[in-house]
Amino acid sequence: MGKSNTFDKNNSKKTFILSIICITSLLKYTQALGFVKRCSDKFVLNKKTFYFTGANNYYLHYLNTSITAEEVFSTCEKHGLNVMRTWAFMDKEYSYNDHGVNGLQRIDEVISIAEKHGIRLILTLTNNWVDFGGLEQWVRDFGYDTHDAFFTVPEIKKSFKKYIKTLINRTNTITGKKYINDGTIFAWELGNELRAWGNGFQNQKPYDTTILTKWLDEMSTYIKYLDPNHMVSTGEEGFGLPKVESDNDIYFLDDGNDFRKNAALKNIDFATIHLYPNYWNFKDLVEDGIQYIVSHAEVAKKQLNKPIIMEEFELFVKNRDKEFPALLESMMENDNNGIMVWMLADHTYPDFDSFTLYDEDLTKYFDKFTSLQNKKSGKKVICKKCKVLF
């Protein structure tokens, strides 16, 4: 009898401890992240400023998600990165856009792992480029052969809206949350590096900038109608800023982009820019890079009163010791609300383009700036005085 009571007590104690462990694990796995909002040219979380560093990773939803996403998000958490930009599409194979384990459940898993590590996501809805099919796959599926058909043909736009609506109203099969109610999603992004031309059809510059601007206006308005909880961005590189004194064609309007007009749209919450000095014919990587950073921050923050995110940024490995910190310092000085590198990978992923960063690279090149950026967060914002808080 005594032994039995002892056994029962020990067994009950073990059961209680296991229950606590399970509950603790579950709570961590389903922790609720609050919605980040926009107030004037600041991001706000719980009525306090929210600045961040982050990274990009395009393959989380298709390449061994449970393993690769776990390592990538663990690395983000370790280094204090708190926003990840990733793809929420697989246009090349429409079977990936269904609701099964090889479809949208993959995005469910990415979101759930991100939430577990306290990482928010910018979810990009399509690609200007042919990788993963991109918007030109939609064009082909409907029997057209020009890039801009994606932005102008009613039946294509209707189909794309259907996909947007599917995502917004989706219930995550792992967390049980509707995407519309999940603060893990930082923002919906209309596309990656959208332009009036791509790399799958024949192109001929210059392009009409109103085509893309009208489409961005229509789609951002549609998302806000369906989902008032989340922010919306364009995902642009920042091309088309003709008043800048430069002979570099990234400032011209020929690509069909007008940075100022697109960022100024009512339902676009913040501006995005990308920066690849090694590829953009810069005469001086630092000097021309700083000009790009300053000119776009001037438009976004001072003229439009909106936040700006350096959404993709990288240099070749040989330039990281000198040019990398100089450009990051300029981003800090010009009050970039978010600074995101391209790209952070797990260690099974090779460095194909000399732009890939790993855990140890963050320690060497990025941690200092993450610390400085995080120190800007947490300052009280009086939201009642903010006329543009959504």
Which of the residues 71, 136, 193, 237 is marked catalytic?
193
Which of the residues 71, 312, 314, 323 is marked catalytic?
312
Give CA angle at 281 (276, 285), nearest 5°. 60
pLDDT at 94: 44
Contact indicator for 293, 334 with CB cutoff of 8 Å: yes
Active site residue 193: yes
pLDDT at 97: 52
Active site residue 237: no
Q: Give 330's contacts (C-beta < 8 A, 6+ positions apart).
A: 289, 290, 293, 294
Contact indicator for 211, 255 with CB cutoff of 8 Å: no
Tell which residue, 329, 313, 231, 293, has the closest CA to residue 55: 313
The rounded distance, in Å, linking the Cα atoms of 284 and 173 is: 49
> Alpha-carbon Rg of the chain, whole angstroms?
22
pTM of the full predicted structure? 0.91
Tell which residue, 195, 217, 308, 231, has the closest CA to residue 266: 217
Enter the tokens of residue 175.
Answer: 């967390």
pLDDT at 96: 47
pLDDT at 20: 41
Tell which residue, 384, 383, 318, 356, has the closest CA to residue 37: 383
pLDDT at 206: 82
pLDDT at 203: 82
pLDDT at 387: 55
pLDDT at 385: 59
pLDDT at 389: 55
Per-residue confidence in pLDDT tens, the chain, 390 aa: 433 444 344 444 444 444 444 334 444 445 689 999 999 999 999 999 999 999 999 999 988 889 999 999 999 999 999 999 999 998 754 444 566 788 899 999 999 999 999 999 999 999 999 988 899 999 999 999 999 999 999 999 999 999 999 999 999 999 999 999 999 999 999 999 999 999 999 888 889 999 999 999 999 999 999 999 999 999 999 999 999 999 999 999 999 999 999 999 999 999 999 999 999 999 999 999 999 999 999 999 999 999 999 999 999 999 999 999 999 999 999 999 999 999 999 999 999 999 999 999 999 999 999 999 999 999 999 876 565 555
